[in-house]
């Protein structure tokens, strides 16, 4: 049975306790690691110390995160909190897609990886008609042409290009 304080809380409840715990834990970790990451320089004024302002910021994070945690009217993790954490975790899927893309471009090449990933992401996001998949493949080609030809972005050639004959290898490295 919820207490009177829990019933009067006007803000959203789901995820608040988990968020507060993660933020305070992360801030405490940063505070513990501050001596390894910053320096204290002798004969330097306090406000000019390389460690001073990061310490103030992280100390504020710990203090305000702890106050937020203290002022929460509940101390239990409910199923709604776990649903919210699951929603937050879904973002990591797209970070994984991005990391896969970044790792495969130097191995396979910019054009082939872009031609594979854009339709795959379109499929993943629910655009599954053949028309939309062709549109996404056309978009992938347009992006590669825009970046390589018009903007002259220097993207390193792929490892598989090393196995191509001389002139073809140069063409692939420069334009694909």
pLDDT in tens, 101-116: 999 999 998 999 999 9
Over residues 64-81, mean pLDDT? 87
Query: Distance between CA atoms of 5 and 74, rounded to whole angstroms?
Result: 8
Q: What is the pLDDT of the chain when averaged over all its residues?
A: 89
- Give this prediction's pTM: 0.64
Residue 11, pLDDT above cutoff 70: no
Contact 138, 112 (CB under 8 A): no
Most confident of 83-87, 112-116, 143-147: 112-116
The pLDDT of residue 149 is: 83
Residue 1, pLDDT above cutoff 70: no
Query: Distance between CA atoms of 166 and 29, rounded to whole angstroms?
Result: 53
Query: Distance between CA atoms of 112 and 166, rounded to whole angstroms?
Result: 20
């Amino acid at each position: 049975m919820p207490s009177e304080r829990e019933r009067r809380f006007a803000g959203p409840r789901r995820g608040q306790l988990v968020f507060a715990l993660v933020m305070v834990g992360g801030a405490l970790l940063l505070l513990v690691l501050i001596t390894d990451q910053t320096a204290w320089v002798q004969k330097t004024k306090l406000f000019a110390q390389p460690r001073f302002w990061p310490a103030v910021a992280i100390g504020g994070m710990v203090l305000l995160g702890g106050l937020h945690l203290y002022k929460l009217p509940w101390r239990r993790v409910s199923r709604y909190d776990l649903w919210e954490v699951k929603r937050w975790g879904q973002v990591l899927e797209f970070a994984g897609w991005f990391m896969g893309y970044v790792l495969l471009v130097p191995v396979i090449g910019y054009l082939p990886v872009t031609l594979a990933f854009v339709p795959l992401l379109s499929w993943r996001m629910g655009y599954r008609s053949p028309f939309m998949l062709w549109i996404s493949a056309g978009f992938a080609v347009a992006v590669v042409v825009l970046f390589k030809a018009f903007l002259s972005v220097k993207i390193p050639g792929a490892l598989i290009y090393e196995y191509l004959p001389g002139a073809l290898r140069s063409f692939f490295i420069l334009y694909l």
